[in-house]
Amino acid sequence: MLIIAAIFLIFMGRFAYIAATGHIAGVDLTKRSNKKYEGDSVIRAQRGTIYDSSGNVLAQDTNAYAVYAVLSHDYVTAGKKPLYVADKKKTAKALSKYLPMSEANIYKQLTPKNKAVYQVEFGSAGQNLSLSIKRKIEKQHLTGIYFKESPTRLYPNGTFASHVVGIAQTPKGSEDSGSQDLVGVMGVEKYFNEQLTGQDGYKNLTKDSYGYSINQNKNKVKAAKNGQDVYLTLDSRMQSYLESLLSKVNKKYQPASMNAVLMNAKTGEILAASQRPTFNASTKKGIGDVWRDTLVEDGYEPGSVLKIATLSAAIDSGHYNPDQYYKSGSVLVSGKKISDWQTAGWGMIPLNQAFARSSNVGMVKLEQEMGAKTWKSYIEKFGFLKKTGIELPGETAGTLQYERPLDQATTSFGQGINVNVMQMLQMTSAIANNGTMIKPQILAGVGQEQQITPIKAGKPIKASTAKKVMQNMEDVVYKDYGTGQVYQIPGYKIAAKTGTAQITGPNGGYLTGASNYIFSVSGIAPADDPKYILYITMKQPGNMTDSAETILSQVFNPMMKRALEYTKEAEKDKQQQVKVASVLSQSTKDAQKKLEAQNLKTTLVGSGNLVVQQLPKAGSVILPNQRVLLMTNGAMTMPDVNGWSKNDLLKLAQLTGIDVDIKGSGYAYHQSLAVNSLLDGVKQIKVQLK
């Protein structure tokens, strides 16, 4: 009895200690209990959307699904009902309808040699599945087939400025760490990763012993902060057309690479930009061919297009006598022979023909007249050897080989100096803007779209110099001895400069052969009132069945013509534009009457009788017959969107804050939510276009 009493006292003392201190074996029992009955639920932040200049989506968040199959017979319900794949042949047949795998390969995956395997996946074929495919598979009611959800990035346009827009993806190994955040690894996605990335929130729940949430009023919630949207200067119409032209030329002539950029000559806005090889951002097909954005990351010798800077420098520094004759063909510099592309030359010709003929010897003469020091100062004034600062990652500053007289001479026709595409556009802008150089811009705003204003990158030459160089660029196109006659576009005056740059071989020296060059053209149009600059390069065409100028003109001419025609349409539209009147706090009847008097369409979002919000906002300048959405007091209700354009639907999403999932192209004909349904609490509306 004494022993039992002693043991009892020991237990009593132990219980008293635990009750008083709340600890046992170094564990805080209060925290352990809270942990058992509390749980954190992550509220995922949405990555910002990337838009073009017209509000078209270039990149946005969505969810992707990966399918997997449980094979272990241990996975059953309490009643021993199988939760594993019981009928493998039926499962393989059903999955083969929705996965890019044959029925035989799926069955093979479902029957591994190792019988102890718990579950299997289906490689890349079973990953990145859309919600619609997931639902179709689920409708087959396949036992043992499950899905893992993960955030992914949707690029609805496929091959569309892919290296410029870039991609965002979940880093490898992030699933093991529990993170599913998307990270930009290329292009704008990478450059603005910090702004695009949101901050996840959380919900701290109090649960009962069965895991159900209790005490809702005591739950702690921190809202997620979505990433900021990014707006680009790209014009989808121009970009799509440029992609199609490049693809056609690339397929026919098979160059090692191509670059093409269309820029607004006055503002520096990049309206279209692409490269070859490229990739489909949606499927990732071709992404392994070239990872770099060659528009900014690649330095190369520009060849004769740099003669724009050489001629500008000679005229501006007072070392140009257009009527002076020189002997073309070749010239010796430090004992080395420099030749014209037409090695026999054209005999004794005046300097005013050197540029249009693209004479290397003529440019060397200009460099020698200026002197190495003066010529180098203009190289720097034109922004070479430093980054333009365009909002794209990895821009190279370029290099210059300039120690010997021979180096100094060869730079006059674009050798011995490395540049990037944006630097060449920036240089050409000085000719289009009376000597003022304009910085190329790809960004139209973070958080909200802003009006683009030109950013001056310097004034390397006088206005009078720019006009003389412009005339020489016109001679390239219109003189019978000009190298760019193929770039004439009926109805428009074109100024251009062609280029043929040698390529350094792996063992030093330049490659030989008819196609071992970087061929290029830089053009301004219209020459008498510059609106666009188009710069194209093509490296080593593998199937050179036409001249370089003929090949490049198949991109240059239709692209520049399309841009100029759009300008005509825009100027015509501008004369008809309407400034939206303010109708806030007015009755719906008066508001509609006022806007309809401006030849605008109106739609009410709500059942009230007073306007509380309008989109487009008051003061916005839009075209006649555009739709103005009016939100009324009272509950928000779903309008009839039949016949609406994609742009109208995006306005609805912006006004209501509800995600509008748009499928197809054309105009709306089906909506998932009935007309006049309440919008309160609705998270997504699906609209089909045709």
Task: Please give the pLDDT value at position 508.
Answer: 77
Q: Rounded to whole angstroms, how far apart are CA atoms 641 and 637?
A: 12
Q: Rounded to whole angstroms, how far apart are CA atoms 59 and 236?
A: 13
Contact between 151 and 429 (Cβ < 8 Å): no
- Tell whether the torsion through CA atoms of 602, 606, 609 and 612 is positive or negative: negative
Q: Rounded to whole angstroms, how far apart are CA atoms 478 and 493?
A: 9
Contact between 328 and 359 (Cβ < 8 Å): yes
Task: Please give the pLDDT value at position 241.
Answer: 94
pLDDT band at 177 (very low <50, low <70, confident <90, very high): very low
Task: Please give the pLDDT value at position 334.
Answer: 94
Q: HEC states along 117-166?
A: CCEEECHHHHCCECHHHHHHHHCCCCCCEEEEEEEEEECCCCCCCHHHHC
Contact between 641 and 668 (Cβ < 8 Å): yes
Task: Please give the pLDDT value at position 680.
Answer: 78
615-661, pLDDT tens digit by residue?
888 888 787 888 999 988 878 889 999 999 888 898 898 888 888 88
DSSP state, residue 101: S
Strands 57-70 and 50-51: antiparallel
At residue 524, what are phi and psi to the nearest 5 degrees? -120, 135
pLDDT at 428 over 80: yes
pLDDT band at 146 (very low <50, low <70, confident <90, very high): very high
**Residue at 82: amino acid letter:** P
pLDDT at 569 over 90: no
Strands 50-51 and 230-232: parallel
At residue 53, what are phi and psi to the nearest 5 degrees? -70, -15
212-266, pLDDT tens digit by residue?
455 555 567 777 888 999 999 999 989 999 999 999 999 999 999 999 999 999 9
Q: Is 664 left (phi over 0), alpha (psi -120 to 50) or beta?
A: left
Q: Of the candidates 146, 272, 208, 153, which has an alpha carbon nearest to the alpha carbon of residue 559? A: 272
Radius of gyration of the chain (CA): 33
pLDDT at 39 over 60: no
pLDDT band at 40 (very low <50, low <70, confident <90, very high): low
pLDDT at 450 over 70: yes
pLDDT at 89 over 60: yes
119-131, pLDDT tens digit by residue?
999 988 888 787 8
pLDDT at 328 over 70: yes
Ordered by where they begin, the domains of the chain are 42-195+226-231 (3.30.70.2110), 236-442+454-572 (3.40.710.10), 578-689 (3.30.10.20)
Task: Please give the pLDDT value at position 489.
Answer: 97
Q: What value does the mean pLDDT take over residues 140-165?
A: 91
Q: Of the candidates 129, 143, 4, 10, which has an alpha carbon nearest to the alpha carbon of residue 65? A: 129
Average pLDDT over the chain, rounded to an integer: 90
pLDDT band at 319 (very low <50, low <70, confident <90, very high): very high
pLDDT at 377 over 90: yes
Q: What value does the mean pLDDT take over residues 29-37?
A: 60
Q: Rounded to whole angstroms, how far apart are CA atoms 235 and 229?
A: 17
pLDDT at 30 over 70: no
Task: Please give the pLDDT value at position 36.
Answer: 56
Question: Which pair of tokens denotes residue 117?
Answer: 């395997």
User: Which residues are annotated as catalytic?
Assistant: 304
Task: Please give the pLDDT value at position 100.
Answer: 86
Contact between 159 and 281 (Cβ < 8 Å): yes
202-227, pLDDT tens digit by residue?
776 665 554 445 555 556 777 788 89
Q: Of the candidates 482, 500, 474, 519, which has an alpha carbon nearest to the alpha carbon of residue 354? A: 482
DSSP string, 225-280: BPPPPEEE---HHHHHHHHHHHHHHHHHH-EEEEEEEEEETTT-BEEEEEEES---
pLDDT band at 402 (very low <50, low <70, confident <90, very high): very high
DSSP helix/strand/coil, 318: coil
- Tell whether the torsion through CA atoms of 431, 437, 442 and 447 is positive or negative: negative
Task: Please give the pLDDT value at position 163.
Answer: 97
Q: HEC states along 504-518?
A: ECCCCCECCCCCCEE
pLDDT band at 25 (very low <50, low <70, confident <90, very high): low
Percent of the chain with pLDDT over 70: 92
Q: Rounded to whole angstroms, how far apart are CA atoms 419 and 303?
A: 10
Strands 627-632 and 601-605: parallel
Task: Please give the pLDDT value at position 434.
Answer: 97
pLDDT at 363 over 80: yes
Task: Please give the pLDDT value at position 67.
Answer: 94
Task: Please give the pLDDT value at position 38.
Answer: 55
- 632-652 burial code (b ≥16 CB/10 A, e <16): beeebbbbebeebebebbbbb
pLDDT band at 171 (very low <50, low <70, confident <90, very high): confident
Q: Rounded to whole angstroms, how far apart are CA atoms 188 and 631?
A: 34
Q: What value does the mean pLDDT take over residues 384-401?
A: 96
